[in-house]
């Protein structure tokens, strides 16, 4: 019974937190490092907790609300962990995972640390521009017209609409319609943003659903110079689609 009580105390602390380190678990439970290591390892194998590869923090897999707005961030992180590992092993190039937060796409995970390519790092929690990024466009293309209007109105209310529209080489409606027909979206090649989706980089993305809700998107990205023949999308589209299917299957199993 003592071992069960210890296990439950660790699980309870992780489940009530929005990401905790190994040291924080040790300090909060008062257990030794060896005991916590053994418990966390077993909880991870059983699927009750998972560890974010970038922040190295532990999360409770059943949780859904990981932010003040009640996003699907934690559930999405858990569901995408193994599929993202599978994808980077298959294609080598990295992927970034984004959750939908109102008018924003927020980066919650990346397989860049696992990629053999030494590419520039962007901090977890950064936002990608909705109208210019591949992940934002993938999300918009998967939405109904009514859902898109809500996001457009939020962008206009926050003063971001004109700035993002100014970068477009084609009408936004045509871009979104093309992405919907293809099943994936590409980033705006002319955009030279300060953080994510900068010039000199190429990416394409697909939206992710949890049941009937579009919760986020996942991309594959690479430097434009690495793809002079522009055939990366044709090479990597099917693996990205398969990764998305694995994530959505995991999401369905957790609902």
For the stretch 16-26, pLDDT in tens is 776 789 999 99
pLDDT of residue 32: 92
**Mean pLDDT score, 102-126:** 78
Average pLDDT, the chain: 84
Distance CA 216, CA 199 (A): 23
Encoded tokens for 22: 């190994």
DSSP 71: -
Q: Which CATH number fits domain 2-60: 1.20.1070.10, 1.10.10.10, 3.40.50.2300, 3.90.1300.10?
A: 1.10.10.10
Give the least confident one: 17-26, 115-124, 128-137, 242-251: 115-124
pLDDT tens digits, one per residue of 156-183: 998 889 999 999 999 999 999 999 999 9
Q: Say whether pLDDT at 12 is over 80.
A: no
Identify the band that residue 199 occupies on the pLDDT scale cut at 50, 70 and 90: low
Return left, alpha or beta for 45; rule: phi > 0 is left, psi -120 to 50 is alpha, else beta: alpha
Identify the band that residue 123 occupies on the pLDDT scale cut at 50, 70 and 90: low
Distance CA 57, CA 54 (A): 8
Greatest alpha-carbon pair distance for the chain in Å reads 65
Q: Say whether pLDDT at 73 is over 70.
A: yes
Task: Give 173: exposed, middle or buried? Use CB within 10 Å, 0-12, 13-18, 19+.
Answer: exposed
Identify the band that residue 214 occupies on the pLDDT scale cut at 50, 70 and 90: very high
Q: Say whether pLDDT at 68 is over 60.
A: no
Sequence spans of domains, the chain: 2-60, 73-254
| CATH for the stretch 73-254 | 3.30.450.40
213-229: buried (b, 16+ CB within 10 Å) or exposed (e) per residue? Answer: ebbbbbbbbbeeeeeee
pLDDT of residue 49: 76
């Amino acid at each position: 019974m003592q071992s069960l009580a210890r296990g439950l105390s660790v699980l309870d602390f992780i489940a009530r937190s929005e990401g905790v380190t190994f040291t924080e678990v040790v300090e909060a439970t008062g257990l030794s490092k060896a005991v916590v290591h053994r418990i966390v390892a077993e909880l991870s194998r059983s699927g009750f907790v998972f560890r974010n590869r970038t922040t190295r923090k532990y999360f409770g897999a059943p949780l859904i609300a990981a932010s003040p707005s009640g996003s699907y961030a934690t559930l999405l992180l858990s569901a995408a962990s193994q599929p993202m590992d599978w994808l980077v092993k298959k294609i080598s190039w990295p992927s970034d995972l984004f959750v939908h937060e109102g008018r924003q796409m927020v980066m919650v995970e990346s397989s860049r640390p696992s990629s053999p390519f030494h590419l520039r790092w962007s901090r977890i929690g950064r936002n990608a521009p909705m109208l210019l990024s591949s992940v934002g466009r993938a999300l918009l293309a998967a939405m109904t017209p009514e859902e898109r209007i809500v996001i457009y109105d939020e962008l206009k209310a926050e003063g971001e609409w004109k700035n993002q529209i100014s970068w477009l080489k084609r009408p936004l409606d045509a871009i979104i319609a093309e992405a919907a027909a293809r099943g994936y979206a590409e980033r705006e090649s002319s955009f030279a943003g300060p953080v994510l989706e900068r010039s000199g980089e190429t990416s394409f993305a697909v939206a992710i659903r949890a049941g009937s809700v579009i919760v986020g998107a996942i991309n594959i990205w690479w430097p434009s110079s690495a793809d002079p023949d522009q055939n990366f999308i044709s090479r990597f589209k099917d693996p990205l689609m398969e990764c998305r299917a694995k994530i959505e299957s995991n999401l369905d199993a957790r609902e």
